[in-house]
Amino acid sequence: MQRSKSEHVALITGANSGIGLELTRKLLAEGWQVIALNRSKVPTEDMELQKAISSEQLRIYKVADLTDYDSLRLALQKLHNKEPYIDVIFNNAGQSFPELTYSRQGRETHYELITVVPYIILMELKDLLLKGRLKTVINTSSSALNMRKSFTLEQLEHPQKFRKVVGPYAASKLALSLWTEAIAPSLANEGILIRSVDPGVNNTVRKNQKSGLPIWMKPFMRFASPPTHGAGLLFESAVGKHQSKTGVFLIKGKIQSLPFRESAPQLLKRLEEIYRQQFKQEAGIEADARV
């Protein structure tokens, strides 16, 4: 299918449920093309989504596990080979887990999924972003980052203790916003804008899924906004009044200063090391093995 350069194209991670799914629906309704990087299919009973898939307005690239570099690398290669350009990357995937776990690479799972993977996706797809018109990256962060009383790289990669929401989850969201701010000047030199955004408290709890919410928070979720609210905030952050801003962290449509900003340069350096020494280097080893 030949796609017109006049059409906006968005990449969304975690587009199969919650805020990501509602953002997908909103963008499709606005006439956007949507590339979904998902672990599972979008709801099969949703006829509008199925119609969009049939017409290729919605294109899904399946990745078994975003935190598994082999799986992520394969999905990104397929995407890269088929897609001519991207206007906006929405790094949205990132749930709160109920216990301490580690990725295949040996780093705490929240950190790997919420902080590291969005950096890898940006680096791998930057050339497609540069071919688009909006050249924008929106990283889904959280106001939970304000709950952090301390912040170190060691806490991120190998936390000594686990607390729901305010522990590794909040630390990883803070790290995401910090590297977003830190990388903004260099990306701006290439014409790319990047922002991190709090989508607010949305009720995205699914039945039969272990929750990463503390017990005391669960009763309040019935009063939380529906995922359409968060999707609207993410959409607005991409094309609304702050669309010319870069490096900022947005809460309720307003720019907020980040804590622990002095840690941002070291964090960004560490992410670049992970990307170059693990994601890219391992890809080179695999390529050599196939020759």
Per-residue pLDDT tens listing for the chain (291 residues):
445 555 899 999 999 999 999 999 999 999 999 999 998 889 999 999 999 999 999 999 999 999 999 999 999 999 999 999 999 999 999 888 999 999 999 999 999 999 999 999 999 999 999 999 999 999 999 999 999 999 999 999 999 999 998 999 999 999 999 999 999 999 999 999 999 999 998 665 555 556 665 555 555 556 557 889 999 999 999 999 999 999 999 999 999 999 999 999 999 999 999 999 999 986 665 443 332
Tally of domains in the chain: 1
Dig out the tokens for 47 from the structure.
């006829």
First to last CA, the chain: 32
pLDDT value for 287: 41
For residue 1, being part of any structural domain is answered with: no
Q: Residue 31 belongs to a domain with what CATH number?
A: 3.40.50.720
List C-alpha distances in Å: 62 to 16, 41, 42, 189, 191. Answer: 10, 8, 11, 32, 29
For residue 49, being part of any structural domain is answered with: yes
For residue 62, being part of any structural domain is answered with: yes
- Alpha-carbon span 231 to 209, nearest angstrom: 21
pLDDT value for 225: 73
For residue 3, being part of any structural domain is answered with: no
pLDDT value for 63: 95
- Alpha-carbon span 236 to 243, nearest angstrom: 8
For residue 164, being part of any structural domain is answered with: yes
Residue 277 burial class via C-beta count within 10 angstroms: exposed 0-12, middle 13-18, buried 19 and up: exposed
The two beta strands, 249-251 and 254-256, are antiparallel
For residue 4, being part of any structural domain is answered with: no
pLDDT value for 283: 64
pLDDT value for 212: 63
For residue 253, being part of any structural domain is answered with: yes
Angle (CA) 255 256 260, round 5°: 145
pLDDT value for 223: 56
pLDDT value for 226: 85
pLDDT value for 186: 98
Contact 55, 31 (CB under 8 A): no
Reduce the secondary structure of the chain to three states and give it as a string.
Answer: CCCCCCCCEEEEECCCCHHHHHHHHHHHHCCCEEEEEECCCCCCCCHHHHHHHHHCCEEEEECCCCCCHHHHHHHHHHHHHHCCCCCEEEECCCCCCCCCCECCCCCEHHHHHHHHHHHHHHHHHHHHHHCCCCCEEEEECCHHHHHCCCCCHHHHHCCCCCCCCCCHHHHHHHHHHHHHHHHHHHHHHCCCEEEEEECCCECCCCCCCCCCCCHHHHHHHHHCECHHHHHHHHHHHHHCCCCCCCCCEEECCEEECCCCHHHHHHHHHHHHHHHHHHHHHHHHHHHHHHC
* Whole-prediction pTM: 0.91
Domain limits for position 94: 9-290
As a residue count, the chain comes to: 291
For residue 269, being part of any structural domain is answered with: yes
Please state the φ and ψ torsions of residue 230, each to the nearest 5 degrees. Answer: -65, -40
pLDDT value for 90: 98
